[in-house]
């Protein structure tokens, strides 16, 4: 390979060297941009998940206290299917103070092991002091 490179004219050697340097710089920039974009989108998705969880907590507190499960179920289904949220939210579930699932949007058995806690603010929380939700990051590009 080195012998072949020595036989090539100086003009072509410079061209190939510049081309390789440009490709390396371009690949580095693309990887950095991808890393920044994915971390930013993941943080934004988590913040949206927290906002949805707090919205449901504030609007559904009365339903939980009254043990009005049908209204709570209607609320969480409405929240899950609200305009732009329907593509970002896979499921929602609500737990009581005893960490028992009161209501959820699953049509299959409930996989409690995938729940991730969200710290409480001023609204009522579970006995452990956490809201539970599981926002999922997009597996493909978020752009159509």
Between 46 and 120, residue with greater pLDDT: 46
User: What range does the domain containing 102 cover?
Assistant: 7-133
* Residue 2 placed within a domain: no
**pLDDT score for 3:** 74
Per-residue burial over 110-128, b = 16 or more CB atoms within 10 Å of its CB, e = otherwise: eeeeebeebeeeeeebbee
Is pLDDT above 90 for 22?
yes
pLDDT tens column, 31-71: 999 999 999 998 888 888 888 888 888 888 888 888 888 88
Summarize the chain as % helix, strand, coil (round to 5). 55, 10, 35
* Residue 140 placed within a domain: no
The string of DSSP letters for 70-95 reads: HHHHHHHHHHHTSGGGGGT-S--EEE
* Residue 138 placed within a domain: no
* Residue 81 placed within a domain: yes
* Residue 58 placed within a domain: yes
* Residue 97 placed within a domain: yes
Model confidence band, residue 100 (pLDDT cutoffs 50, 70, 90): confident
Total structural domains in the chain? Answer: 1
- What are the counts of helices (DSSP H) followed by strands (DSSP E) for the chain? 3, 4
**pLDDT score for 7:** 81
Widest distance between CA atoms in the chain: 86
The backbone torsions φ and ψ at residue 132, rounded to the nearest 5 degrees and listed phi first, read -110, 130
| Alpha-carbon span 64 to 96, nearest angstrom | 8
Q: For the whole model, what pTM was predicted? A: 0.56
């Amino acid at each position: 390979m080195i012998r072949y490179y020595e036989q090539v004219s100086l003009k072509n050697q410079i061209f190939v060297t510049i081309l390789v340097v440009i490709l390396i710089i371009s690949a580095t920039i693309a990887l950095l941009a991808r890393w920044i974009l994915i971390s930013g989108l993941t943080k934004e998705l988590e913040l949206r998940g927290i906002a949805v969880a707090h919205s449901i907590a504030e609007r559904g507190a009365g339903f939980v206290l009254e043990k009005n499960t049908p209204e709570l179920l209607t609320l969480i289904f409405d929240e899950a299917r609200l305009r732009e949220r329907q593509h970002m939210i896979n499921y929602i579930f609500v737990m009581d103070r005893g960490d028992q699932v009161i209501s959820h949007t699953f049509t299959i058995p409930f996989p409690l092991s995938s729940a991730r806690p969200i710290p409480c603010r001023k609204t009522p929380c579970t006995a452990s002091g956490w809201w539970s939700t599981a926002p999922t990051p997009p597996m493909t590009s978020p752009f159509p």
